[in-house]
Structure 1
Amino acid sequence: MKIIVTDEVADQGLELLKQDPRIEMDIRLGLKKEELLALIGDYEVIITRSGTTVDKDLLDAAKNLKMVARAGVGIDNVDVDYASSKGVIVVNAPFGNTNSAAEHTMALLMAACRNVTVANASLKAGEWKRAPFTGVELKGKTAGVIGLGKVGGRVATRLKAFECEVLACDPYIAVKRAHDLGVKLVSHDEIYKKCDIITVHTPLTDETKGMIGARELAMMKDGVIVMNVARGGIIDEPALLDAMNNGKIAIAGVDVWSEEPPKTDVLKGLIAHPRVTVTPHLGANTHEAQINVAVDVSKEILNYLDEKPLENAVNIPRFDMALMDQMRPFLNLVNVMADFGIQLLDGHPEKITFSYAGAIAHYDCSPLTVCGLAALLGRVVDQDVNMVNASLIAEQMGIVVEETKTTSADAFSNLITLIAEGDGKRRTIAGALFEGAPRIVRLRDYAMDFTPEEHMLLLHYADRPGMIGKIGTIMGKHEINIGSMNLGRSEKKGEAMVILSIDSAVSQAVIEEIKQATEATFIRAIHMASVKTSP
């Protein structure tokens, strides 16, 4: 695997990759866009930080790219949607710099409140002034944390240690988490109206861009303290500068900017403002954090190489990692079922339904659905399909994908059923695990019980004496060995379904001969290249 590193990434963190003989890594820093576009086609992985923009042009030029590894939390420099459409996995390191960002928030807040930077500059200039640098305490203040994720939660804990009352706003956080942190969940407007200190810790998205603007700033208390150590652009910067100039905001601390390095007059005005304490995007800049994020993305690349689950892929649905050992056999089962089921359908499917019954229905099954969808679509489209782009490809093809769950599974502790519909036909296949291995237990309305093998033959015919003998005779004549046979029928002398496991592929001529001899209403050779007989 060829990897290109385009931004400064800690060498200690890349050691895992350097030690792996399967990996060839090139570190190419400071490349101009045209230079990178000319090179990227040779690489399967790009490791970046915030200095490289992974946009449509780059992704189109990256013909062999399998993964974008962002050594940090933010992914606003990566066009994730377009990467997904190309089947490119995007991973980040959401936890490696968590502590660093939280500590920098507190450092910037304390420096701003106690005038550390200006007092330091004054004293170094030979002055001895104290009165101009009188500060404010955190004790007794009401602090509002917007975004109570990994960083925001740590900031909230530290603010409480300084004896602040902490309010928080995060629509995606459970009340229990806020309770565990000892903070109160409130609305955005309550944060703006009630808090003496407001600090933001959300990602930059369409939803959060410009989230705090002129309206929100006007709602705040006079003399409020505002902090942004998250992402530039979450706070509307022209509105922030106006609020600083008119005295609405007493103190601000800013580490991140909508343009980096800052060049506009507005940003230069903020940086120069005497009551704004600033740093050049240093939230993640500790030695420990730089090593942590590099290690995290290196582990994800090795997980990809070893075909292990990815913990921090932003465009793949994933299980709670604590459940992965339990769910891995089901990933294999649904992959086998999809591979088998699509070969029974003529033409493209129009609707696909994944049903989960039994204990498995208590859990999030979306990764199973996407895995099965990828296996199924891989048989019917020319492009590469994986868990990244499977849902998007299905949508583009007009395929309806549904998922149903029930905790009742009759005779099975867990049962997965796949229904594929198209051209007026409907194919049903159900599977279960036996000692961790996948087995097919139902085809259409027939109860079956067989382990999928690489080569199989399935046929329907009218049940009458001598049919099995005819099939065996033809197979023997063509030296095709039958490994096992499973028979299902709706009633005596009704329609029968036979599935044969065979040692080698069956030619079309043999299929036609069996069809004529048995007067089969349906016959299909199945090739299961994806079969795994062990979990």
Structure 2
Amino acid sequence: MKVIVTDEVAPEGLALLAQDPRVEMDIRLGLKKEELLAIIGDYEAIITRSGTNVDRDLLDAAKKLKMVARAGVGIDNVDVDYASARGVIVVNAPFGNTNSAAEHTMALLLAFYRNITKANASLKSGEWKRAPFTGYELKGRTAGVIGLGKVGGRVATRLKAFECEVLACDPYVAVKRAHDLGVRLVSHEEIYRNCDIITIHTPLNGETLDMIGEKEIAMMKEGVVLINAARGGIFNEQALLNALQTGKVAGAAVDVWSEEPPRTELLKELIAQQRLVVTPHLGANTFEAQINVAVDVSREILNYLDDQPLENAVNIPRFDLTLMEQMRPFLNLVKVMCDLAFQLVDDNPAKLAFGYAGAIAHYDCSPLTVCGLAAILNLVVDQEVNMVNAPLIAENMGIVVEEHKSTRADAFSNMVTLTVEGQGKRRLLSGTLFEGAPRIVRLRDYAMDFSPEGHMLLLNYIDRPGMIGRIGTILGTRDINIASMNLGRREKKGEAMVILSLDSAVPPDVVEELRNATNATFIRPLNMTSAGRSRGFTG
């Protein structure tokens, strides 16, 4: 895999890629956009930080691109939606700089409350002044944390250690998480109205852009202190400047900006404010964090090459990593079932329904569904399909995809059912795991029990004496050995279904001979080796 690195990334992390013979890595820093567009078509992965804009132009030029690896938390410099449409996986490193960002938030807050920057400048200039730099304690203050994710949660814990009362607002976290952190979940309005300190830890998106502006600041207590070490643009910078000038906001500490480096007159005026502590986007700039994020994204590239689950893909549904070992066999089961089901239909599917019954239904099964969808579409369309673009391709093809779950299961502790509909026909099969291996336990309305093998043959015919003998004789005369057989039927002398596992493939002329000899209503040779064609979970 050819990998290009376009921003400064810790060499300790890149060493993982450098020592892998499958990876050819080029470090090209400081490229102009035109220069990058001219060469990106040769690469399958790009490692960036915030200095490279992975936009439509770049993605269109990157004909071979499989992965965008953002060595950091934020992905606002990556057009994730367009990358998804092109089947490009986007990964980031959401945990590598978590601790650094949390500690920097506290450093900014303490620097403001204890006048560190002003006292430092005064003493270095030769002065010895103490009274002008009298500060305030954090103890007893009410702090509001907006965004209780990995960074916000760590900040909340540290504020608690300073004996602050901590309120938190995050519509995407459970009450239990807040309880575990010892904080109280409240609304945005309660944060604005009641907190002495407000610190924000959310991503930058359409929902959070200019989230705190004139209206929100007007609700706040007089003399509030605001902290932003998350993303530039979450605070409306004009509103923040106005509030600092009027004294509504007693002070602020800011590490991130809507434009980096800041060039506008607004940002220059804001940065010059005496009651504002500023740093040039240093939240993730610790040696430990830089190594961590580089290691994390390098490991994701290696996981992709090894066909292993990607832990930090932002545009692929993924399992809770604590469940991965339990769920991995089900990924294989779904892919095998999809391969088998596709070979039983003659037309492209119009509807796919995935059903999960038993203990598995207690968990998020969407990665299984998307994995199965990708496996089927890889057999239908010419372009490469993976878990990134499978839902969009299905939508464009007019394929309806459904998922059903039930914690009740009759005969098995876990069962997966796939229904394929198209051109007025419907094919149903159910599978489960025996000792971790896929087993098919139902085809249509026949109870079956067989392990999918490389070469198989399925027949439907009217059951009558001597039919199995005819089949065996024909196959035997053509030197095709039967490894195993599974027979299902509804009633005596009614329609029967037989699945044969064979040591070799059945040629077309033998298929026709068997059809005529048995008056088969349906006969289909099956080749299960194609299950490996889908990259499944990782893309």
TM-score w.r.t. the length of structure 1 is 0.96
SS at match of 2:529: coil
SS at match of 1:453: coil
SS at match of 2:410: coil
Amino acid in structure 2 at the alignment position of 1:157: T
SS at match of 2:353: strand
Match of 1:254 in 2: 254
- Are residue 280 (structure 1) and residue 314 (structure 2) matched? no
TM-aligned CA deviation for residue 430 of structure 1: 0.5
SS at match of 1:325: helix
**Equivalent residues in 2 for 1:28-427, closer than 5 Å:** 28-427=28-427
Match of 2:482 in 1: 482
Greater CA deviation, 154-163 or 183-192? 154-163
Amino acid in structure 2 at the alignment position of 1:82: Y
SS at match of 1:529: helix
TM-aligned CA deviation for residue 13 of structure 1: 1.6
TM-aligned CA deviation for residue 468 of structure 1: 2.5
Amino acid in structure 2 at the alignment position of 1:389: N
SS at match of 1:26: strand
Identity within the alignment, %: 77
Amino acid in structure 2 at the alignment position of 1:226: L
TM-aligned CA deviation for residue 144 of structure 1: 0.5
TM-aligned CA deviation for residue 447 of structure 1: 0.8
TM-aligned CA deviation for residue 454 of structure 1: 1.5
Amino acid in structure 2 at the alignment position of 1:169: C
Match of 2:522 in 1: 522
TM-aligned CA deviation for residue 390 of structure 1: 1.4
Deviations 1:288-347 (Å, cap 9, x if unpaired)?
110111111112222222222111111111111111111111111111001101111221
Tell me how far apart the structure 2 counterparts of residues 526 and 444 of structure 1 sit (CA, whole Å): 16
Q: Does structure 2 retain, via aligned residues, the 8 Å contact 1:343–1:526? A: yes
Tell me how far apart the structure 2 counterparts of residues 35 and 257 of structure 1 sit (CA, whole Å): 27
Tell me how far apart the structure 2 counterparts of residues 397 and 426 of structure 1 sit (CA, whole Å): 18
Amino acid in structure 1 at the alignment position of 2:428: T
TM-aligned CA deviation for residue 229 of structure 1: 0.2
Match of 1:450 in 2: 450
TM-aligned CA deviation for residue 511 of structure 1: 2.3
SS at match of 1:153: helix
Amino acid in structure 2 at the alignment position of 1:108: L
Change (3 A) 1:531 1:439: farther
SS at match of 1:526: strand
Match of 1:8 in 2: 8
Tell me how far apart the structure 2 counterparts of residues 54 and 183 of structure 1 sit (CA, whole Å): 38
Greater CA deviation, 88-97 or 395-404? 395-404
Deviations 1:486-523 (Å, cap 9, x if unpaired)?
22112111111122222333333332332222222222
TM-score w.r.t. the length of structure 2 is 0.96
SS at match of 1:123: helix
SS at match of 2:506: coil
Amino acid in structure 2 at the alignment position of 1:519: N
Greater CA deviation, 419-428 or 471-480? 471-480
TM-aligned CA deviation for residue 80 of structure 1: 1.2
Q: Does structure 2 retain, via aligned residues, the 8 Å contact 1:228–1:253? A: yes
Amino acid in structure 1 at the alignment position of 2:427: R
Greater CA deviation, 284-293 or 402-411? 402-411
Q: Does structure 2 retain, via aligned residues, the 8 Å contact 1:457–1:525? A: yes
SS at match of 2:520: coil
Greater CA deviation, 517-526 or 126-135? 126-135
Tell me how far apart the structure 1 counterparts of residues 391 and 415 of structure 2 sit (CA, whole Å): 23
- Are residue 21 (structure 1) and residue 21 (structure 2) matched? yes
Q: Does structure 2 retain, via aligned residues, the 8 Å contact 1:454–1:531? A: no
Q: Does structure 2 retain, via aligned residues, the 8 Å contact 1:85–1:389? A: yes
TM-aligned CA deviation for residue 137 of structure 1: 2.3
Tell me how far apart the structure 2 counterparts of residues 305 and 451 of structure 1 sit (CA, whole Å): 28
Tell me how far apart the structure 1 counterparts of residues 170 and 149 of structure 2 sit (CA, whole Å): 8
TM-aligned CA deviation for residue 467 of structure 1: 2.6
Amino acid in structure 1 at the alignment position of 2:391: S
TM-aligned CA deviation for residue 205 of structure 1: 1.6
Structure 1 residue runs without a partner (length 5+)? none
Greater CA deviation, 435-444 or 482-491? 482-491
TM-aligned CA deviation for residue 282 of structure 1: 0.3
Tell me how far apart the structure 1 counterparts of residues 53 and 404 of structure 2 sit (CA, whole Å): 39
Tell me how far apart the structure 1 counterparts of residues 496 and 127 of structure 2 sit (CA, whole Å): 99
Match of 1:464 in 2: 464
Change (3 A) 1:531 1:347: closer
Amino acid in structure 2 at the alignment position of 1:5: V
TM-aligned CA deviation for residue 530 of structure 1: 4.3
SS at match of 1:430: strand
SS at match of 2:212: coil
Greater CA deviation, 318-327 or 278-287? 318-327
SS at match of 1:382: coil
Tell me how far apart the structure 1 counterparts of residues 471 and 44 of structure 2 sit (CA, whole Å): 48
TM-aligned CA deviation for residue 531 of structure 1: 5.1
Tell me how far apart the structure 1 counterparts of residues 210 and 336 of structure 2 sit (CA, whole Å): 47
Q: Does structure 2 retain, via aligned residues, the 8 Å contact 1:452–1:531? A: no
Structure 2 residue runs without a partner (length 5+)? 533-539
Amino acid in structure 1 at the alignment position of 2:278: V
